[in-house]
Amino acid sequence: MHPNVGAGVPGCTNIDIELHSDIMPVHEYLPSAGAKQKPVSSMSCDEAMAYTTHYETALESVVDDVDIVIGHHANLCAIATARVAQRHGKPYVLFLHGTGIEPRHTGGYDDTVWAEIESAIVHASGLLVTTRYVRDELVRSLVAVPEERFLILPCGIDLEEFHPDRAGDIAAKYDLPPRYVICPGALVAVKGPQNVVTASVQYASMASTIFIGDGELRAELAQRLGDRGRFLGFVSSEDKAKLINGATILAAAPEKKEHFGIIYVEALAAGTVPAAYEGGGVASIITKDVGVLTDRDPVALGNAVAALLKDDDRRKRMAVAGRARAEANYHYPSLVNDLVSWLQGRSL
């Protein structure tokens, strides 16, 4: 373990943790972890707690220099955060993401491990979540914590990077048609690209569907999609933003109910109308004046996209309203100010 100063973010110190095992403990499948990963929710108590020791050691090396500790996920990090903060008399808050707590709803986590996670949640000075759905359906349905302990803090984006006038020459670079539907994300079943491929049948005569991202389903989906669109694979973050900025509609249909969904915020900022499956926390982003939520059925999604493509006036009104919603609710500096003010109240 060693500190890495200046490793990408000015003013931050990164501490690399050397684990006792080459198996990476994760809260969900992480492509960057490769094959050597295991969900903590499926570990035995002894197996999970062996990793917690390393996180505590890392926190111990810096805790004296901080005013408040922020831990992420209802997972091992929550346990380590609570233990170290309590030993040093420091306040701590936890940012609870749906992917960390969701496995407990289906019987995941050893009971002893979960008891420590739950205790960390209960005794935190405050709790952060991205949506009411995460707060009420995922956290408070399991752990008795009053609403006033929470701050709902959505993910923010760069409103200059995602902007209706920032598509540049992206259409020429990728030889794209004047109108296209964009579908960003990994090409794996849980993300639902197969549903968008099916949906595209309903509107293919009006717009092609462009997929960005890669994954195990690419060859199969490319065959199914045929001439109704294209797969661009992985693109740079700069090109991703420009592709979303230049799109007419953003479509997504994940198999799992999403807890938030940053691509929908990016679409709003870009003036690109989002059409997606209903359920989860997506309704906190896509309201009826800025986009469309449909039944969790590809044909329903395809019909909704077709209706938007046919109605230019409605789509343009939604695009303007979506940009205004992004500016009002998802601007990084404003969200940072909200967080700082809330943290100051927790650290007294």
3-state secondary structure of 26: strand
User: Does the domain made of 2-156+333-346 have the CATH classification 3.40.50.2000?
Assistant: yes
pLDDT bin (cut points 50, 70, 90) of residue 169 is: very high
Paired strand residues for 292: 275
Residues 6+ apart with CB under 8 A from 204: 228, 229
How high is the pLDDT of residue 32? Answer: 65
Q: Where in the chain is CATH 3.40.50.2000?
A: 2-156+333-346, 170-329
Q: Quick one: 313 exposed, middle or buried, by C-beta within 10 A (0-12, 13-18, 19+)?
A: exposed
How high is the pLDDT of residue 239? Answer: 98
3-state secondary structure of 213: strand
Q: Quick one: 218 exposed, middle or buried, by C-beta within 10 A (0-12, 13-18, 19+)?
A: middle
How high is the pLDDT of residue 82? Answer: 97
User: What does the mean pLDDT of the chain come to?
Assistant: 93
The dihedral sign for the CA sequence 133, 135, 139, 142? negative
Residues in the chain: 348
Residues 6+ apart with CB under 8 A from 188: 215, 216, 217
How high is the pLDDT of residue 10? Answer: 77
Residue 95: closest CA among 155, 14, 17, 163: 155
Residue in the structure block whose two tokens are 């220099």: 65
| 85: its two tokens | 């903060």
78-118 residue pLDDT tens:
999 999 999 999 999 999 998 889 999 999 999 999 999 99
**Contact by Cβ (8 Å): 301, 278:** no
When mean pLDDT is compared across 34-43, 107-116, 165-174, 324-333, the lowest value belongs to 34-43
Decide if pLDDT at 4 tops 50: no
| 164: its two tokens | 């209706």
| 75: its two tokens | 């997972």
3-state secondary structure of 214: coil
242-291 residue pLDDT tens:
999 999 999 999 999 999 999 999 999 999 999 999 999 999 999 999 99
**Contact by Cβ (8 Å): 125, 347:** yes
According to DSSP, residue 280 is labeled T
Q: Which CATH number is correct for 170-329, 3.30.1360.10, 3.40.50.2000, 3.40.50.720, 3.20.20.80?
A: 3.40.50.2000
287-296 residue pLDDT tens:
999 999 999 9
| 150: its two tokens | 């929470």
Decide if pLDDT at 6 tops 50: no
When mean pLDDT is compared across 72-76, 118-122, 315-319, the lowest value belongs to 72-76
pTM of the model: 0.90
